Amino acid sequence: MDYIKDQIKKGARILEIAISVLVIVGVLIGLLEFPEYFTLIGKANTLDTYEVFQRFLGYALLLIVGVELVLMILYHSTQAILELILFVIARKMLIHASTMFEVFLGTLSIGIIFLIVLIMRFMKQGRKKDLNIKE
């Protein structure tokens, strides 16, 4: 039974790595198109600049979410998951938030995530002090 569990774990890990590689390839392809936004921003007239820049930020954050997703898949850490959620919320707020209530919820969510990260940092420092570990 342990042999089967080990084989399933190995298979799942291989799938995770394969998915990570595909996401990285997608991000790299996306990076090739990224410089085009600079010319679009430069060529946009005054009225369209905001919309073009908003699309630029959305694209940049989408690439960042891809990178953070790979880190989360590879490292399985709480920190990586929280960072991924943070970027997803930031992208949602910048690109798709249409009401003040959505902006408020996004801001509240980001504040809660920062609070969780702060609590985790204090807990980690407390454990190191308890074990007399110096950084």
pLDDT digits (tens, 9 = 90+) for 7-41: 999 999 999 999 999 999 999 999 998 889 888 88
* Banded pLDDT at 64 (limits 50, 70, 90): very high
Token pair 């399933």: residue: 8
Within-domain flag for 11: yes
By the 8 A CB rule, do 65 and 94 touch?
Answer: no
* Top-confidence residue, 28 or 43: 28
Question: Residue 77 has which token pair?
Answer: 């850490």
Q: Give how many domains the chain has, as a whole number.
A: 1
pLDDT, tens digit (0-9, with 9 covering 90-100), for 95-114: 887 889 988 999 999 999 99
Assign 130 a pLDDT band (cuts: 50, 70, 90): low
Secondary structure, 3-state, the chain: CHHHHHHHHHHHHHHHHHHHHHHHHHHHHHHHHCCHHHHHHHHCCCCCHHHHHHHHHHHHHHHHHHHHHHHHHHHCCHHHHHHHHHHHHHHHHHHHCCCHHHHHHHHHHHHHHHHHHHHHHHHHHHHHHHCCCCC
**Structure tokens of 38?**
């600079």
Among candidate residues 51, 64, 117, the one with its CA nearest the CA of residue 91: 64
Asked whether residue 76 is assigned to any structural domain, the reply reads yes
Asked if the structure places residue 135 within a domain, the reply is no
36's tokens: 């085009």
Domain that holds residue 12: 2-130
Other CB atoms within a 10 A radius of the CB of residue 20 amount to 17
Which pLDDT does position 43 carry in this prediction?
87
pLDDT at residue 50 is higher than 90: no
Contact indicator for 66, 92 with CB cutoff of 8 Å: no
Q: Is residue 82 domain-resident?
A: yes
